[in-house]
Amino acid sequence: MASSPSAWKCVVCGYVHRGDNAPEVCPICGAPTEEFEPFQEAPAPSASTAGQWRCLICGYVHDGTEAPDTCPVCGAGTDEFEACGETAAQEGHSNDSRRIVIIGGGIAGVSAAESARQALPKAEILLLGEEPGLPYYRLNLTRRLAGEIGEEALSIHPQSWYDEKNIRLRTGVKAHALDPEQHSITIEDDERIPYDKLILACGAHPFIPPIPGANLPGVGAVRTLEDVRELLDRVEMNTPVICIGGGILGLETAGALAKRGATITLLEGFDYLLPRQLNRDAAGILAESARAMGITIQPKSATKAIMDDGAMKTVLLEDGTRLSASLVTITTGVRANTHLARRAGLSVNQGIVVDAHMATSHPNIYAAGDCAEYGGAVAGLWEPAQYQGAIAGHNAAGVSAEFGGIPRMNTLKVLGIKMFSMGVIQPDDGSYKEIVETGEGRYRRFLFRDGFLAGAILVGDTALAAAATRAAREHTDCSALMAPETTVENVSAFLSRL
């Protein structure tokens, strides 16, 4: 029998809330309590583990005598697990007092600390954060920028949580060097910190294109709480702002500043918004919403230079157009923080290369979150960072756990509009069957290939997101939907029965 929920997952943004009851409001996206569904997390494996269970959908490996009620990675049910052999007794045990050091105060680092503590009650756990103050929800920064929440609502946990779990938190600390042979890291003032196990959850930094003038005062990224504070100090009613980058963060930044009364021009290099997540028609709904907020969108706009003209900045585009603004934000993606690992000789590509245990190329060192590269890719998303951190924490504690990946999908709320996309976004040939429905502020499109669901985009109405994900990952036979007259309502009825 399934146990009562120990956690709740927001179906809008993927945030996982731990507790007997769902929260009244999602701290990440602001979704109400009815947007949460029960989410049974896999318990921490123990020293008496006698076997392993592999999720047939995503490959996650669970240690225990029984399969979990729900896969903590992809949400598959217990019947989607198969036994995959006996394992030796786990290394971790309650009297183990090893020292685990975690570099990074984001969600990956905090999740790693929590899972390590669950596995090893007596371990010494040190969490180092480069930014001052408590670790916070980075996804909530644009809500803070918009004035929807105060700074006090940003923290992942209060200080008392770290105290109760005996997790030592040091903030405002930057690691300068890593010595794998000596099992130590070096921080400010040449202080050396030894470790038995190390978890690199260093996160990422904003990618700033090589644009002349990108380092001028009043020009910058939106990545940290300090970035948001600086913007809030400068933005007033009718302040002209140019936002370079029409991705998710760029849109959210533009929307937040528009709510503050600023006059926004959004520059996007592609010919429509969110090309990685949406097709042109779906993106059009977001563009309409942005324009309704007073945001001017200029697609196919490449920035050539930014010039300082005293109180104003001039943004010169490649086509010769000149735009003026008091402030310029640049949200053109991020890059993994790999410098510590690279200088220490660890294997690094786009990120710090890890295996399914989140182990790096050097013994006793793990990596998770935005700095980690698993399966040839850096996920760069909140949900996989949270899970990777938990997996790294378990393994650093000597409790074997494997990460099977996160299905390729996006569940978001952008400019107040719910959005879901998965699988193929842009079909590259004519072998796909497309079924589309467009309504007022709503767009639903399903792509099928060879009788199976290959992709889906839902904007405005995401009620079918879970069913579509299930149909894709379980490779459900959808040949009954291949008739020429099939509508989205037919697809909805079919998926709802799964």
Does the structure show a pLDDT above 80 at 259? yes
Question: Yes or no: is domain 424-496 CATH 3.30.390?
Answer: yes
Task: Kindly report the pTM of this predicted structure.
Answer: 0.81
Q: 107-119 vs 382-396: helix axis angle to the nearest 10?
A: 30
Which segment of 8-22, 276-290, 396-410, 448-462 scores lowest on mean pLDDT? 8-22
Whether 424-496 and 219-331 are alike in CATH topology: the answer is: no
Say what the pLDDT of residue 167 is: 98
Report the C-alpha gap between 389 and 75 in whole angstroms. 18
Say what the pLDDT of residue 30 is: 63
C-beta separation of 96 from 123 below 8 A: yes
Question: Yes or no: is domain 219-331 CATH 3.50.50.60?
Answer: yes
User: What is the arithmetic mean of pLDDT over 222-238?
Assistant: 96
User: What is the arithmetic mean of pLDDT over 76-101?
Assistant: 66
Residue 71: phi and psi, rounded to 5, are -70, 125
C-beta separation of 141 from 222 below 8 A: yes
Report the C-alpha gap between 400 and 397 in whole angstroms. 9
Say what the pLDDT of residue 90 is: 45
Which segment of 129-143, 315-329, 381-395, 482-496 scores lowest on mean pLDDT? 381-395
Report the C-alpha gap between 230 and 145 in whole angstroms. 10
Domain ranges of the chain: 99-205+335-396, 219-331, 424-496
Instruction: Give the rounded distance of the alpha carbon of 152 from its chain centre.
Output: 21
User: What is the arithmetic mean of pLDDT over 167-194?
Assistant: 97
267-271 own/partner pairs: CB under 8 Å, 24+ apart: 267/242, 267/243, 267/298, 267/301, 267/303, 267/315, 267/317, 268/297, 268/298, 268/299, 268/300, 268/301, 269/300, 269/301, 269/302, 270/246, 270/299, 270/300, 271/299, 271/300
Report the C-alpha gap between 192 and 177 in whole angstroms. 9
Q: Which token pair is 475?
A: 């490779």
Does the structure show a pLDDT above 50 at 369? yes
Say what the pLDDT of residue 406 is: 66
Say what the pLDDT of residue 91 is: 46
Q: Write the CB contacts of 191 (distance below 8 Å, at least 6 apart in sequence).
A: none
The CATH code for residues 99-205+335-396 is 3.50.50.60
Of the candidates 103, 127, 97, 132, the residue with the CA atom closest to the CA atom of residue 114: 127
For the chain, state the CA radius of gyration.
23
Task: For 37-86, write each residue's pLDDT tens digit.
Answer: 787 654 443 333 336 676 554 445 565 778 877 654 445 567 767 776 54
pLDDT band at 231 (very low <50, low <70, confident <90, very high): very high
Which segment of 95-99, 132-136, 184-188 scores lowest on mean pLDDT? 95-99
Mean pLDDT, rounded, of the chain: 88
Please report, rounded to a whole number, the percentage of residues in the chain having pLDDT higher than 90.
69
Report the C-alpha gap between 289 and 30 in whole angstroms. 18
Report the C-alpha gap between 321 and 308 in whole angstroms. 16
